[in-house]
Structure 1
């Protein structure tokens, strides 16, 4: 049974009936069948794009909140109708979203709803309103938008600085001079310059202390840092390598090496073994924003990732998840609605937080939403749609219906407490961002007995970080006793 919006639309079965407005959802009106519905959907989106936004700026807070809630309900109605095979109702709900939403509205809920509507539209397997009316951003536009988002929001900085602090502590505890990081989604590599600088400064301080008072003036060998970065674009990996290599060249106390592995496409190295030929290196795995376990496709990816992680025998695995940690899909549940709801809530909170950081009429904010967050939403919905397009029996997969916490524990890892320095650094980051207008609504939330730390926005957890190591024998004894 197909549980996605990617349902083949029956041709020539229009009933020609007049439909009424029921509970705010406009049903199909007039004849024309499926073609007519799509034409009207395109027209509704076009009206949304060209509509003047002056009224949106003056919407009262209570009215805006009610309108945002209604838009969320309509989006969920569209998804649920698609699962039930009712394309007419799915299209009608989407039509109503376009009637109410806005890419440039003063309320962030209007904007996030507009992007989700565009992400859902291609699932009707007809001409996409998004494709028809707005071109996809170029790779350069996406990079610029990501850079602006990185600077405007503490979200990625929180994840990166927290991870780097834990990595430095694991490296120092190992007492070695070589560090190998395996990053399962290196992206643009923005996480690593601060780590390279920290390692260089620490090595310089240690060498100065060890040679103080001596007359030979000899210094130790520089720290060796190797990053194996996985990504989906060969060009992007090459640019990331060049960017990081150029930065590392200014840090003489670090000997840097980068290897990129493409994980999709004709040049994929998905099955290539990650090289780990330095027995003296401290191995750390960076697992940021892995796929959720709501589908068979992502379950297979998770199983593959865990197998590769185990083979590396890492000293530390640092995990960054969207939302709260430990949120798995209920066993036996194959509906698209729960993961879609989680994704909708996450991006709604991100849009809301960005709205507080940048003015409503900010060209920078518009570029971030259009060229980066909009793309992220489209990719997230497409991923859910593809992975729920089969027979729906996700519970039969080895890693499905499990949270990353459960999978890490099953794979022989245990969560470790984050250091007080890691927590204080995260709080300092938010304090600094608050001082420049970007962190007022953010907060650090500790949980799991000190083994988890979340970046909260108002009453939502945007991301949660945890650190893992191989389970020790004494821990196994405690569990079995």
Structure 2
């Protein structure tokens, strides 16, 4: 139900250090300067009822959030400001016909592996991994355990080339799936784990264009939509807020564009139950940052289990606000379906829907077998690891942190999602088919989004990355294969 618009704001945050993400690629810093503010009654962070996290309250009270942020060393401003001198891109590569889908079978020789690589281990290990997947596909779970035990003896650590490291992480994900220990395995329960996860995200953003490509393209698509309206009230429904660092640049843009009126941003984040601890950190950081910018800001959290029951009725919509829905494949994975979600989304009729695919979905149908989805994910994350090797030197500790705290949880979630889809029988439309069937049409991204994307890739200075356009999407590619694709849609 929609209620009259209100500009009231309530409570503020304590003294926390905020990760000051750059406004755009043009102001990108590797080690930004933090900001601290005193408590100000400018913003509201509301969350109530079923959306509270009482079971984790003791954990949150025991955490020293100032120490967590100081541990990240975000006040290091020794790196000089990087100012690009890139001319506006004359053109973008157009990927036409659409980039090919992933094969049902993986050929290790394409990655430089054959029977002679790594003492024969490269080819044999991938063969055994696919045998485990085949056993899971055919419900021969005992046989799968036997092969997996053999793999555990041969693949003891994530070392070597990207293909073998990917094999290790996917082997671990299969092991967790077969043992039933995959539930809540990505839950962060201590401040040390939170520090390491944030550090990994920060380091990943510093050496690879993948994270910032997702943030900048999504933020600019949101801003383009907001600028088309005279309403100063903006409401973003975010289904993958993470630690919320991407909102720093968005809020700064809103503050600069709305200097006369002050601007008003409301965020509703739909979060899984295991994100209880992180939501406290997200709320306090964004509240503080908004207070520093002197914009009115509210944030609400809706538990995923509540959204599953009530859909968009669990979210408060206000008349007069310009509504943006920000989604990724994660929401389809958590809801175990696409069509129902899109039909409910149509009833809300947001001003724009921004879809960011950073998991290699690429329009693959959910009707495929477990093997097909597994191999698709395996090839995708092998490419991500290849790009990481190109960006970081061999043996770099930063690379290990990124793999352990960013990529490994994503791989585990992808394998679990493929298993869930298998149990449900597949048969779903692709997200693009579901969007079109619901009457959605793609909205062209602005030239400034294109320019930012090109600048970001140039600034990364990692050979192999390039920007392309594909069926209306802006795509970050690694040697011709898509890694991130951003698109905007409207009913």
Instruction: State the TM-score, normalizing by the size of structure 1.
Output: 0.69
Q: Matched residues in 2 for 1:329 and 1:446: separation?
A: 24
Q: Is the 8 A contact 1:324 1:454 kept in 2?
A: no
How far off its partner does 1:345 sit? 1.4
Q: Matched residues in 2 for 1:290 and 1:456: separation?
A: 20
Q: Which runs of 4+ in 1 moved over 4 A?
A: 59-62, 64-70, 265-272
Q: Matched residues in 2 for 1:255 and 1:244: separation?
A: 11
* Partner residue, 1:325: 362
1:144-186 residue CA offsets vs partner (Å, 9 max, x unmatched): 3233223332212101100111111111111221111111111
Change (3 A) 1:430 1:127: closer
Q: Matched residues in 2 for 1:281 and 1:248: separation?
A: 18
Does 2:277 match 1:235?
Answer: yes
How far off its partner does 1:82 sit? 2.4
**Once structures 1 and 2 are overlaid, which stretch shifts more, 263-272 or 119-128?**
263-272
* Partner residue, 1:207: none
Change (3 A) 1:257 1:127: closer
Q: Matched residues in 2 for 1:154 and 1:186: separation?
A: 19
* Partner residue, 2:266: 226
Q: Is the 8 A contact 1:263 1:270 kept in 2?
A: no
Does 2:234 match 1:179?
Answer: yes
Q: Matched residues in 2 for 1:272 and 1:336: separation?
A: 33
Partner SS, residue 288 of structure 2? helix
Does 2:420 match 1:393?
Answer: no
Q: Is the 8 A contact 1:326 1:403 kept in 2?
A: yes
**Once structures 1 and 2 are overlaid, which stretch shifts more, 111-120 or 303-312?**
303-312
Q: Residue 142 of structure 1 is aligned with which of 181, 197, 200?
A: 197
Does 2:426 match 1:413?
Answer: no
Partner SS, residue 379 of structure 2? helix
Does 2:396 match 1:362?
Answer: yes
Change (3 A) 1:466 1:245: same
Q: Matched residues in 1 for 2:200 and 2:309: separation?
A: 26
Q: Matched residues in 2 for 1:263 and 1:269: separation?
A: 10
* Partner residue, 1:50: none
Q: Residue 106 of structure 1 is aligned with which of 146, 155, 160?
A: 160
Larger radius of gyration: 1
Q: Is the 8 A contact 1:318 1:468 kept in 2?
A: yes
1:82-109 residue CA offsets vs partner (Å, 9 max, x unmatched): 2224345423443453344353423122
Q: Matched residues in 1 for 2:123 and 2:256: separation?
A: 50
How far off its partner does 1:267 sit? 12
Change (3 A) 1:265 1:165: closer
Change (3 A) 1:462 1:68: farther
Trace 1:201-350 onto structure 2 (pairs within 5 A). 201-204=256-259, 220-232=260-272, 233-252=275-294, 254-264=295-305, 273-277=314-318, 279-291=319-331, 298-300=335-337, 302-321=338-357, 322-323=359-360, 325-330=362-367, 333=368, 335-350=369-384
Q: Is the 8 A contact 1:324 1:464 kept in 2?
A: no
Q: Is the 8 A contact 1:453 1:465 kept in 2?
A: yes
Q: Matched residues in 2 for 1:312 and 1:120: separation?
A: 38
Does 2:237 match 1:193?
Answer: no
Q: Residue 144 of structure 2 is aligned with which of 90, 98, 103?
A: 90
Change (3 A) 1:265 1:228: closer
Change (3 A) 1:62 1:291: farther
Instruction: State the TM-score, normalizing by the size of structure 2.
Output: 0.68
User: Structure 2 unaligned runs (5+)?
Assistant: 1-112
RMSD: 3.1
How far off its partner does 1:403 sit? 0.9
